[in-house]
Structure 1
Amino acid sequence: MPSTGLLKINLCENISVTAGVFTDEVKSVSVMEGDSVTLHIDLTRIQKSDVIVWNFGSQDSHIAKISREANKVSVYEDVHYGMFRDRLQVDVQTGSLTITNITTQHSGLYHITISGQKKTSYTFNITVYTHLPVPDISSYCPKNSPSSSSSNCSVLCSVMNVTNVSLSWYKGKSLLSSISVSDLNIRLSLPLEVEYQDTNTYRCVINNPITNQTTHLDINQHCQPCSGESHVMFVFIQ
């Protein structure tokens, strides 16, 4: 009967991930920049005489080696231009690897190989997310907008320099519109049109798989009548 994997993720300042079996399956891990993540091994599958090697990246650069019988740990902090320097912690007894104060450059594949009576391996895929900015809401005048006597208010929710996020408008608990972006570092904007006399609650939310930031729309503060002299055109990213 085929084995199943066990993945344990605690989304907090210290994230712990446990690999329960050794297969070709890749375990995905999400973590916030600046936090720590610990990659564990199932101890029931490790012998005292085993040698454990941790590798990073598609080219499998060694970052740590553990000889349990000799009770010895070697850490290779200078690989990848020293990006792991003073960030790696290895437990000689458990074989676990901890990366502290993690950054986006530490995103990628982490391979563990255990050599003993037989050779087994496991792979973790870590994605590190940056802290999100607070969305900014401002009024704008779309091209061909009605005159200042219009009863509608046009606002734009924007965030700068974002990657792998979604930006959404909500009316109460209902989703009105949303836009997502990945693998880019850009300004992301999403418009909304409401009536000046509208008493509903509106909020703009930016989120990634771990966290979110919210700005509430204050019609009195954010809405300015269009003068008919200044207009804005923008392109939406689908």
Structure 2
Amino acid sequence: MREMAIKLVLFCLCFWRLDDVFGQETKLMKPGDSVTLNSGLTEMKDDVIQWRFRSENILIAEINKRANRITVYDDVLDGRFRNRLKLNNQTGSLTITDTRHEYAGLYELESKSLKKSFFLNIIDEISMKEGDSVTINSDLTEIMDDEIQWRFRSENILIAEINKRANRITVYDDVLDGRFRNRLKLNNQTGSLTITNTTTEHAGAYELEINNEKKRFLLAVYDEISVKEGDSLTINSGRTEITAGEMFLWLYMNEIALIAGINPWVNNITVYDDVLDGRFRNKLKLDYQTGSLTITNITTQHAGRYVFLIEKGPIIQLLKALSVSVYGK
């Protein structure tokens, strides 16, 4: 049975790629949450430790033990981090409070003997019923740049754009066999995009580009399934095999956690079963050939929304969105 609800999952990242989750620690959270990027130290061993926001290559915090100085550069990048950075003077760990979409990206900790990277994902979620309208906000109050473009990244197709220099607003709603015909509205002041009378055909990834800065969004329609406590559940990916160059990811959306991924380029299959206080520990099995996910001995703790994504080059596909409920034995 299909749950007649649409979840708009906003992956508002300027540099989001699915392969970024491999090779560094990934953090996923909702706007407004706080996150601590742990150094892994119980006590600082080096004289100097520095934190950089690598997405902009900007120094944002450092500790100099020899000078007995702790410095937070929270006024950089037009004050983006102002009053939101806290540095632990004993361990060197960095805490970011009240996170916003513009904090998404790559962070790097570096000292003489230590180097660690973290990729921060900010995810927002909006509920609505199928057939309603949804507005994907640009987060702008006024367009200051020359050009703004919206793409349906599931097919890598341009669907709307504003060119201020030419004083032109264009909606390409006849692409993809008219899937968006008479459904797209573009706000000429903010650049926000509205999709009216939404259907399952409109599910997928969207991208906003403002003068080469990109933000990505995912519109998902959730199917619903009920499972008896203690049983196993296999969530089929819908694929018979993984093709070359595809990145696979499973996300548990209730608490925004990456739980499994496949990187075929390096023959890597990873199950993150220790997330969320270990509720998935020894319960997840990932089929390397198809990407299908099995949850064994399921409990009410595993109820919630699951999303399966694939990225291949410029294409970002949503293959599965499932809402799981668990009832007693």
> Which of structures 1 and 2 has the bigger CA Rg?
1
